[in-house]
Amino acid sequence: MSAPPRSSDRGRWHIERFAELDSTNRYVLDAARDGAADGLVAVADVQTAGRGRLDRTWEASAGSSLLVSVLVRAPAAPTRVVMAAGVALVRAVADAADVAAVLKWPNDVVVGERKLAGVLAEADGEAVVVGAGCNVNWAEFPPELVATATACNLEAGRPVDRDALLDAYLDELARALASGDALIADYRTHLATVGRRVRVQQVRGPDLVGVAIGVTDDGALVVRDDHDVEHTVTTADVVHLRAP
């Protein structure tokens, strides 16, 4: 049987810390279906089946990363919760690790073009579970990540305290969720994709190449392709390209 979590409270959040879980998103989603209250947070030192966007896995060795999921029972659209998580992560790595990061649409936290953190939201009715995985203290990356990933310790030049990062993230997330109409403006401020030449790898449909020209209030990316046709994209991966 797995060890019971250590519990604590911080503002609106009730935090359960686990040594190991299959997936903090899976845990919080199941808890939501069983009636858990808004504000439940699960944190794990390691996940055995971490979930990434677009049905990928999320890998992180024990203790290397902040692996956290929160339950928001929101009348607001899930996309607002996802935007809030992205904004909160960018602010939290600045607050707790002095790392200057930006967002790559929709919610990758990047330094330069290297990925520092990712966000995965899953919803069940009005319950939104937003999970974040942030590379905190990595000695080295596996070969498949070495060219594309970074970590807080590598950017800061010092080890970074995961608990301090968690506290900063939860404080910033509470603030972002309460920020009303300012949230979309804050999201746009941190988003580095608009104005960039991009390749959009769509889940359904061909790749698009063009310039990202905006983000709708619902968080969709607007891209003008090289034939001057505008596309509004809701689910895709984006690659920032160099200007031709």
CA distance linking residue 50 with residue 60, whole number of Å: 8
Binding status of residue 50 toward ligand BTN by CB under 6 A: yes
Please give the residues from 67 up to 86 whose contact with ligand BTN meets the rule CB under 6 A. Answer: 67-69
Q: How many residues form the binding site for ligand BTN (CB under 6 A)? A: 20
Q: Which of 51, 91, 104, 162 binds ligand BTN (CB under 6 A)?
A: 51
In the bound complex, what is the minimum distance in angstroms from residue 207's beta carbon to ligand BTN?
Answer: 19
- b vs e for 193-209, b when ≥16 Cβ sit within 10 Å of the residue's Cβ? bbebbbebeeeeeeebb
Closest to ligand BTN by CB, 92 vs 120, is 120
CA distance linking residue 132 with residue 70, whole number of Å: 9
Q: Quick one: DSSP state of residue 57?
A: B
Please give the residues from 151 up to 210 whose contact with ligand BTN meets the rule CB under 6 A. Answer: none
The stretch near ligand BTN (CB under 6 A) out of 11-19, 52-60, 76-84, 204-212 is 52-60
Q: Which of 24, 79, 150, 193 binds ligand BTN (CB under 6 A)?
A: 24
Instruction: Tell me the H-state helices in the chain.
Output: 24-33, 78-97, 152-156, 162-177, 182-190
In the bound complex, what is the minimum distance in angstroms from residue 83's beta carbon to ligand BTN?
Answer: 15
Binding status of residue 5 toward ligand BTN by CB under 6 A: no
In the bound complex, what is the minimum distance in angstroms from residue 51's beta carbon to ligand BTN?
Answer: 4
**Angle in degrees, 0-180, between the axes of helices 162-177 and 182-190, rounded to the nearest 10:** 130
Distance from the Cα of residue 14 to its chain's centroid: 20
Exposed/middle/buried for residue 155 (C-beta within 10 Å: 0-12, 13-18, 19+):
buried
Closest CA to 42 of 107, 129, 116: 129
In the bound complex, what is the minimum distance in angstroms from residue 230's beta carbon to ligand BTN?
Answer: 26
Q: Which of 118, 138, 154, 186 binds ligand BTN (CB under 6 A)?
A: 118
Site for ligand BTN, rule CB under 6 A: 23-25, 47, 50-53, 56, 58, 67-69, 108, 118-120, 131-133
